[in-house]
């Protein structure tokens, strides 16, 4: 085996990172505080859904390169590298809540018995690397043992986390000690990715700036979509026309309900908070957030305009996860949309290929169906919320025939407006020509 690595946290980032580093030949032990989760992982049962991850975990467990524990003593026993990959959720003011990072850093520090590199993989506010070093210094039993803190922000996308981790666009490493950063770079050497080594704060900022830019791109195209709708243009073609320009690039130009999930909302809020508390006026970031949340209300408004109101109406929601190929429901647009509709008296039926179990912990008063056709049965309208491939291939004629009223709000612009109208749907996309009727 190459190196001995401890990964703290077995969420989307921790588990994917641990499994991938094990697959690169290292000995990895993943620490997590929840005994049941840990027992399940030992049996090969994963707490999250991520394509390809289960197979990767099983393979590396069988090869003896990947283990799980709830004991910091066991996890820290042989570790040369410790990755902190715990959650950094939004606090009440939008700031990043660092309680988990604090707890993990403290628990690690107490067990340091030989030189070690601590790597921050969680998305953390600028300056956290220095703060973690202070925590470690304060709690380590023998302050003469050297340790180094390296920032190594994660850029994986949920839904393709394993692929992204194995094929990164770049590896970003920040540290006060270049040698420590280079030792972490060696872990990633087999991936042959561009590696950017910089200082701690710059590395931390690269992550926030990247997420803020991607969120901005989506909010930008959503604002364009709304203007298209008012002026009779088709945003899908506009985005295509824009995206062919190399300076713009086509990704993150899909107009629709907007972004959600565990990263963009909290990271844009945290960056705006940091900026404001340091005397800046982050007006672009605030607009990006506002445009995004307005899109959720816009979907409901479109439907209200058609149905006249929701009391006594049954609305079918296709898709619950914040995006396809994940079961993550954190800040999913489906939650806001369902709550808005429920508040106005609608009854909700819904289906998602993988996120139902997660959704059931958040949304009750909702009928969970076993397939999309059951959602369509006797529905007064359907809203396509998550663009799962499964929904792109539905028998839409059958869908329409099952519905009480053939109203279709295509929140992700996955259907052809002309075809949907030809099938008899009252179709509304997002930014697709005058009144959302679509021009294509």
State the DSSP H helix or E strand holding residue 268, giving kind and residue range, or none if neither.
Answer: helix 264-277
Give the residue, chosen from 3, 23, 53, 87, that forms a contact with ligand NAD under the rule CB under 6 A. Answer: 87
8 binds ligand NAD (CB under 6 A): yes
Q: Is 263 designated active site?
A: yes
List beta partners, residue 198. Answer: 174
| Least distance to ligand NAD, CB of residue 42, Å | 15
Residues 116-135 touching ligand NAD, rule: CB under 6 A, are 122-123
Residues 6+ apart with CB under 8 A from 123: 88, 96, 153, 154, 207, 208, 211, 263, 267, 270
Binding of ligand NAD by 139 (CB under 6 A) = no
Among 88, 128, 292, 413, binds ligand NAD (CB under 6 A): 88
Answer for which of 9, 260, 333, 431 binds ligand NAD (CB under 6 A) is 9
Q: HEC string of 162-230?
A: HHHHHCCCEEEEEECCHHHHHHHHHHCHHHCCEEEEECHHHHHHHHHHHHHHHHHHHHHHHHHHHHHHH
Residues 246-305 binding ligand NAD (CB under 6 A) are 262-263
Closest to 353 measured CA to CA, from 323, 383, 378, 330: 323
| CA 257 vs CA 88, 194, 352, 376: distances in Å | 25, 34, 17, 20
- What CA–CA distance (Å, rounded) separates 205 from 298? 32
Which of 6, 38, 228, 263 is flagged as catalytic?
Answer: 263
β partners of residue 69:
31
Q: How far is the CB of 261 from ligand NAD (least distance, A)?
A: 7
Cβ proximity to ligand NAD, 75 vs 394, nearer residue: 75
Residues 6+ apart with CB under 8 A from 54: 44, 46
Cross-strand pairs, 432: 234
> Could you say whether residue 350 binds ligand NAD (CB under 6 A)?
no
Shortest Å distance, C-beta 89 to ligand NAD: 8
Q: Report the residue number, 50 or 229, with the smaller CB distance to ligand NAD.
A: 50
- Using CB under 6 A as the binding rule, whether residue 362 contacts ligand NAD is answered as no
Q: Which of 5, 53, 86, 315 binds ligand NAD (CB under 6 A)?
A: 86
- For position 85 contacting ligand NAD by CB under 6 A, the verdict is yes
For position 14 contacting ligand NAD by CB under 6 A, the verdict is yes
Q: Does 322 bind ligand NAD (CB under 6 A)?
A: no
Is the Cβ–Cβ distance between 287 and 294 less than 8 Å? no
Q: Which residues bind ligand NAD (CB under 6 A)?
A: 8-14, 31-34, 85-88, 100, 103-104, 122-123, 154, 156, 158, 262-263
| Positions marked active-site | 263
């Amino acid at each position: 085996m190459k190196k001995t690595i401890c990964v703290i946290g077995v969420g989307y980032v921790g588990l994917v990172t641990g499994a991938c580093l094990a697959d690169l030949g290292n000995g990895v032990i993943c620490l997590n505080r929840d005994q049941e989760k840990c027992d399940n992982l030992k049996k090969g049962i994963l707490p999250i859904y991520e394509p390809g991850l289960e197979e990767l975990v099983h393979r590396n467990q069988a090869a003896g390169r990947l283990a799980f524990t709830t004991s910091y003593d066991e996890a820290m026993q042989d570790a040369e590298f410790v990755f902190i990959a715990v959650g950094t959720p939004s606090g009440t003011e939008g700031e990043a809540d660092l309680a988990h990072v604090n707890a993990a850093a403290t628990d690690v520090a107490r067990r340091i018995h030989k030189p070690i590199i601590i790597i921050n993989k969680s998305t953390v506010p600028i300056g956290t690397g220095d703060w973690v070093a202070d925590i470690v210094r304060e709690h380590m039993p023998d302050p003469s043992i050297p340790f180094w803190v390296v920032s190594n922000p994660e850029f994986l996308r949920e839904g393709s986390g394993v692929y992204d981790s194995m094929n990164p666009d770049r590896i970003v490493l920040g540290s006060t000690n270049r040698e420590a950063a280079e030792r972490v770079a060696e872990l990633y050497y087999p991936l042959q990715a561009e590696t950017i080594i910089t200082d701690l704060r710059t590395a931390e900022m690269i992550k926030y700036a990247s997420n803020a830019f991607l969120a901005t791109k989506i909010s930008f195209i959503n604002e364009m979509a709304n203007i298209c709708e008012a002026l009779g243009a088709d945003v899908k073609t506009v985005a295509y026309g824009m995206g062919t320009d190399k300076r713009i690039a086509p990704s993150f130009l899909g107009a629709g309900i907007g972004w959600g999930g565990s990263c963009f909302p909290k990271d844009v809020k945290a960056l705006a908070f940091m900026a404001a508390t340091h005397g800046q006026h982050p007006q672009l970031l605030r607009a990006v957030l506002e445009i995004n949340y307005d899109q959720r209300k816009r979907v409901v408004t479109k439907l209200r305009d058609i149905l006249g109101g929701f009391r006594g109406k049954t609305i079918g929601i296709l898709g619950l996860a914040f995006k396809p190929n994940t079961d993550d429901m954190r800040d999913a647009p489906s939650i806001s949309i369902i709550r808005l509709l429920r508040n106005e008296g609608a009854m909700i039926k819904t289906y998602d290929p993988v996120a139902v179990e997660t959704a059931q912990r958040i949304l009750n008063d909702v009928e969970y169906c076993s397939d999309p056709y059951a959602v369509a049965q006797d529905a007064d309208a359907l809203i396509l919320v998550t663009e799962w491939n499964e929904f792109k291939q539905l028998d839409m004629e059958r869908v329409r025939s099952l519905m009480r009223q053939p109203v279709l709000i295509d929140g992700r612009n996955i259907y052809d407006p002309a075809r949907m109208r030809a099938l008899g749907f009252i179709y509304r996309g997002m930014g697709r020509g005058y009144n959302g009727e679509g021009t294509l």
